Amino acid sequence: MDMKKVPKEVMMRGRGLQMIIVSIPLIIFPGLELYRRYFQGGERKIQVGEYNPRTGVIREFDEEEKMAVHKSRWITRIFGDK
């Protein structure tokens, strides 16, 4: 189908539907995670290690390092610990 022959109104409506379809997962998945955290008492996931691409090894954090990394993240500074 030649896109130059499609009326402008149809193109605008198609683009609007495309934006709706793309935005649905971007709303649902974070919403499910927030529901799990706030209403079901779920805990926030904390980084437990880091990957070194040069050696290919995952280094596990100790408890103090886990909390230091957790508290230094910008999302924790904005929304708090829970």
Residues 66, 47 contacting (CB under 8 angstroms): yes
- Quote the percentage of the chain above a pLDDT of 70: 94
Dihedral angle over CA of 53, 29, 48, 75, nearest 10: 100
What's the pLDDT score for residue 1? Answer: 60
pTM: 0.46
φ, ψ of residue 51 to 5 degrees: the values are -100, 130
Length of the chain equals 82
More confident residue, 71 or 18: 18
What amino acid is encoded at 70 in this protein?
Answer: H
